[in-house]
Amino acid sequence: MTHFEDEELRWFCVKTKPRSESAARRMLMRDVGIEVFCPMIRFERARSSGKVKVTEAMFPGYVFAHFNYRAQHRHVQGTLGVSTIVRFGGIPSVVPDEIVADLRASVVNQETIEIPTIIQVGEEVQLIEGPFTGLRALVTQVLPAQERIKVLLEILGMEREVEVETSRVLPKISHPLAAR
Radius of gyration of the chain (CA): 22
Note whether 114 and 123 are within 8 A (CB).
no
Residue 21 main-chain phi, psi, to 5 deg: -60, -50
pLDDT in tens, 96-123: 999 999 888 878 666 777 776 778 889 8
Phi, psi of 117 (to 5 degrees): -80, 120
Provide the CA 125 distance to its chain's centre, in angstroms: 21
Which pTM was predicted? 0.67
Supply the pLDDT for residue 7. Answer: 77
Order the strands of the 50-57 sheet from edge to edge: 50-57, 40-47, 112-114
Query: Exposed/middle/buried for 72, CB within 10 Å: 0-12, 13-18, 19+?
Result: middle
In this prediction, residue 84 carries a pLDDT of 98
User: Residue 176, CB half-sphere, CA atoms under 13 Å: how many?
Assistant: 20
Q: With a cut of 70, which residues of the chain have pLDDT below it?
A: 1-5, 46-50, 108-110, 116, 145-146, 173-180
Q: Give dist(CA 46, CA 173) in Å, integer.
A: 9
- Domains of the chain, start order: 2-114 (3.30.70.940), 124-171 (2.30.30.30)
**CA distances from residue 179 to 49, 117, 168, 172, 176 in whole angstroms, order as listed:** 25, 14, 23, 12, 8
Backbone phi, psi, residue 60, to 5°? -55, 130
